[in-house]
Structure 1
C-alpha cells in the first residue's frame, strides 16, 4: 500500500515509506505508532539530549514511565515480554517487530547519545528471565522493569572474555542456600542504571556447559559499579562491575545450572537486530547531514553538490543505507512471522556486520564532505563528528564483525555438509 508522506521529504533523509512509496510491511497501526514515536522523541528527547551529554549525566529515568504511558515499550517487544505489558498500553492486536524497528529508528534519529538506551538493554536482559526463570525470579523483576520503575542489565563480557562468552571466568560457588560470586564484568551497558543484573557466571567446568545465569540485585553487598569513560558521547553509559564475595540467593538461579549459555543464545540475535536498527538511522544521518551541507557550502566558486565527486559520495551513501534498511525490514518481518530467534543467527549476524560497515563508510564520507568542520565538536559538522566516534560502538558490541562473519560462514558450511550427506544417503 502507498502511505502518506511523513517527516522530512528531502530525498533519502527518511525511510522510503515515509516519503509516499509503497510498502508490503506497514499498515495503519505502524503509521499511528510512527507518529507517536516521533512526537515523543521531539518533545521529550531532542530538546534535552545535548544538555544530558555535555553535562555528563544520565538521561532521567522518568522517561521510561512517560514512554510507557504513551504506549512505547520499556523492554522490547519480544512475545514473552509483550505479554507482560498492561493491556491498556498496547493497541488492539499488539505490537510486532516492525513496530520495534520504527521505535529504534525514531530514537536514533536525534543522533547518537543513548537516550532511552536502557530500554534496549532491558530488552536484552529480561528475556532469559522470562524464558527460563522461576515464578519467584520473575516476580522480583519483570513487572517492575516493564512498568519503567526499575531496570535490568545484561552482564556477560569480562576483561578477558568479550565475544568468547563460553570462556567467562566469573565464578559462582554454591554454599548452602547462596551462590558466592567473585569476578569482574566489563563493558556492561547501563550498569549504573541497573537495579538487577542478568549475570553470566561459571558454576562448572571450562566451556559453554559450565556457564549459568543468576539474577543479581545490584544493591547486594560486594557489587561495585563504575561508569567508564568511552570514545563516544553518551547520556546512557558503559560500566565496569566488580563482584567481591557477593552472596546471591540460590533461588535466583535462572533456569538450570550449566544451561546459561543456551539461554543467552535465545536473545543474542535480537540484540544484533536492535543495534542494526539504530545504526541504520545513524548512517542515514551521515547522508542527510552531508546532502544539506552540500547545498550551503561553496568551494572553488561553486556549491559542493556541483562537484561530481561529492555527488558520488552522496549517492554511494544512500545506496548502502537503503539496502541496509531493506535488510532490517526483512529480519523484522521474520520475527513478526514467528521465526525463532535461535534460527536467525546467520541473518542477524550478517545484518549487524552490514550495518556497522555501512555506518563506517557513511561516517567517513560525511567527514570528507564536511572537511575541517567534521573535526570539531561545534559548528555545522558537530553531528558528523559525533557520529564518526560512534562507529566502533556499532562494530564491536553485540559480537564483533569478525566473529559474526565467521558464525555465518560456519552455519553455511554446516548446512552445506548436511545437504551433501543427505544427497549421498539417497544414492
Structure 2
C-alpha cells in the first residue's frame, strides 16, 4: 500500500482547522488531523479543545504528557496530513539506532566527543558502535514487547546473538572464544578483553527491561562458567556448543528457601548409587533465574564429602514452577524440584566435596558484571531525568529552574560518574592480572563496588521518582522507565553470591573490609 502524500502547509492554513468537526494540531512541525481521533483519545476529548490547542502548535502540551515513541506508532502516524512549510523537526527520536546521546552525562565520558580515556582504544569504540546498533535494532523491540507480555525472549533474538557470538563473548575472555568470529570479525578472539565484555553488558541493559535482561541468558553467564572451568572435556564438548549457540539453556541453581545462597546450609542432597556410576539428586531450589526454560541446571548439593556441584539435565524428576517477582516473568524465575533425579557421575563439576571452589571461582566475575549493568542503568535514569527536568514546566518555569531538582540531578550524576570510573579502573586491573591474582587482590574491591553501586542505584531510583512525581510510579507514559527501575532495582542489591539473601550489601561490604584487614602490615601503628 502506497504511503499517503503529505502536504506542505502554513501555520495560517492549519489555524483554520480549529473546530470540533475539523480539528488539526501541530506537533514538532508535523500537522495531524485529530478530528476523528479526538473521541478515542485515552485522556478524553476535552484535551483537544483546551485553549491554544485547536489549530495551533501543541508541541509543548504533547511532550508534557507523552513520550516521543507515541508519534511513531502506526495508528498515530496515520493521523499526519502534512508538515509546516520551511520548518524542520526540532525533536529527535529517543532511539536513534547506534547513536550516542547528546544529553549531558547520558553516556560515559569515553564515548563523549572531546573526552579521552586511558583504557578504551579505537578498536573498543568500533566494537561499541556495532554492539549498540545490534541491541537497538534486534534486541530493544523484543525487550519492550516481552517485558509487557511476560513471555521468554524470542528465539530469533537468541539466534541472531549467536550468529555474532554474543553469547560466547558474555563469558568473558578465554579459550572458549578460540576459532570463533566475534562480531563479524571486529575483534580477534585473542584480543577480546574485559572492556569488550563491559561494553556488551552495558549496551544490553540500555533496553530498560530488567526482567527481559535477566531472561537474556543471565543464567548462562553464571551457570556455564563452572562447566567451562571444571567440567570434563567430554561434558564440555557436548554442552558448551549447544548453550553458546542459543539452542539450549542453562541456569545456576544454588539458592534454597531455607538457606538462601548459604552453600553450607543447603538441603538438596546427592547420594551415589551402589555401583558408583550415578548421583541421585533430591531437593528444591528457589529464585532460580532462567530456571523455567533451562535444559541444564548447575546445582549445588550436599554430598558425603561436603558441598559438591553437579550438572543436572532436565529429565524425569525435574520440575519447575514460575515464581512471581516484582519484575517480568520474562526472566523465567523458577522454583525447581529435583525428585530422585538420576545423574551420571561424569556430570560432577570439579572435585567431590570441592564445590565451594567451583562457586567462588566465578563470584568476582559475576559481581563485576552486575557492577557493569548497575553503572549503565543509573546513567539511563540520569538521561531520563535530565530530559524531563528540561521539558517539564511547573509554575510557569522548567523543572530544572528549581534548586532542589538541580541538587537531586547533581547527586545522581556524581553517583553515576563515580561508579563508572571505579568500574573502569577495576576492569583495567582485571585485564592485567591472572585469574589467581584477581581472586587475591580484587575480591574485596569488587565486593565494595558491588555494594556501593547498588546503594547508589537505589538512591538514584528514589530521587528519580521525586523528580517525575506521580509519573514516576505509573507503569505507562512519561515515567514508565523510572517506575520500572524503581520497582526492580532492589534485585541488584540481593544478587551476587553474598551467601545471604537478607543482607547482601552488608555482607559484601564486610567481605571487602575482611580482605583489607588480612593485608594490614603487622607493624602498622598510629
Question: Normalized against structure 2, the TM-score is what?
Answer: 0.75
Match of 2:380 among 285, 292, 297: 285
SS at match of 1:8: coil
CA distance in 2, matches of 1:85, 1:62: 24
Q: Does 1:29 align with 2:126?
A: no
Q: In the alignment, which residue of structure 2 is the partner of 1:102?
A: 199
CA distance in 2, matches of 1:79, 1:378: 39
The answer for the alignment partner of 2:10 in structure 1 is: none
344-353 vs 131-140, greater mean Cα deviation: 131-140
Answer 1 or 2: higher relative contact order, Cα 8 Å, separation at least 6.
1
Q: Deviations over 1:282-312 (max 9, x none)?
A: 1112211111001111112211000011111
Equivalence for 1:67: 161
Flag the 1:167–1:69 CA change in 2: closer, same or farther, 3 A.
same
Once the two structures are superposed, residues 130-156 of structure 1 have per-residue CA deviations (whole angstroms, 9 ceiling, x without a partner) of 222111221221111122222211111
CA contact (8 A) 1:15 1:325 kept: yes
Match of 2:297 in 1: 197
For residues 310 and 156 of structure 2, what CA distance do their matches in structure 1 show? 27
The answer for unaligned runs of 5 or more in structure 2 is 1-97, 499-503
Aligned to 2:461: 363
Name the counterpart of 1:420. Answer: 522
Do the aligned partners of residues 195 and 391 (structure 1) sit closer, same or farther apart at CA in structure 2, a change above 3 Å counting? same
Return closer, same or farther for 1:49/1:130 CA change in 2, 3 Å cut-off.
closer
Q: 1:233 aligns with which of 324, 328, 331?
A: 328
Q: Please, which moves more after superposition, 108-117 or 45-54?
A: 108-117
Aligned partner of 1:179 in structure 2 is 279
The aligned runs of 1:57-206 (5 Å cut-off) are 57-74=151-168, 76-80=170-174, 82-84=176-178, 86-87=180-181, 91-92=187-188, 93-115=190-212, 117=214, 118-175=216-273, 176=275, 177-204=277-304
Residue matched to 1:212: 308
Given that residues 232 and 390 in structure 1 are in contact (C-alpha distance below 8 angstroms), is that contact kept between their aligned partners in structure 2? yes
* Cα distance in structure 2, aligned partners of 1:115 and 1:61: 13
- Look up the match of 1:265: 360
SS in 2 for 1:45: helix
The number of aligned residues is 412
Displacement after TM superposition at 1:123 (Å): 2.2
Report the Cα offset of residue 77 of structure 1.
3.7
Q: Offset of 1:81 from its aligned partner?
A: 5.5
Write the distance in 2 (CA, Å) between the matches of 1:94 and 1:120: 24
Looking at structure 1, the residues matched to 159 and 141 of structure 2 have their Cα atoms a distance apart, in angstroms, of 18
Please give the alpha-carbon distance, in whole angstroms, between the structure 1 residues aligned to 2:155 and 2:292: 12
Residues in 2 aligned to 1:262 and 1:184: alpha-carbon distance in whole angstroms: 22
Cα deviation digits, residues 107-143 of structure 1 (max 9, x gap): 1112133445343431221221122211122122111
Q: 1:201: Cα distance to partner?
A: 0.5
Conserved 8 A contact 1:367-1:385? yes
Are 1:120 and 1:274, in contact at CA under 8 Å, matched by a contact in 2?
no
SS in 1 for 2:293: coil
Q: Give the superposition deviation at 1:172.
A: 0.1
Rounded Cα–Cα distance in structure 1 between residues aligned with 2:458 and 2:175: 32
In 1, are the aligned partners of 2:147 and 2:209 still within 8 Å (CA)? no
Query: After the TM superposition, which of the residue ranges 225-234 and 16-25 deviates more from structure 2?
Result: 225-234
SS in structure 2 opposite 1:38? helix
What is the root-mean-square deviation of aligned Cα atoms in Å? 2.0
**Helix, strand or coil: the match of 1:372?**
helix
Shift of 1:54: 1.4
CA distance in 1, matches of 2:247, 2:327: 27
The equivalent position to 1:44 in structure 2, one of 125, 135, 138, is: 138
Name the counterpart of 2:8. none
Within the candidate set 87, 97, 107, 1:14 is matched to 107
**Higher alpha-carbon Rg:** 2
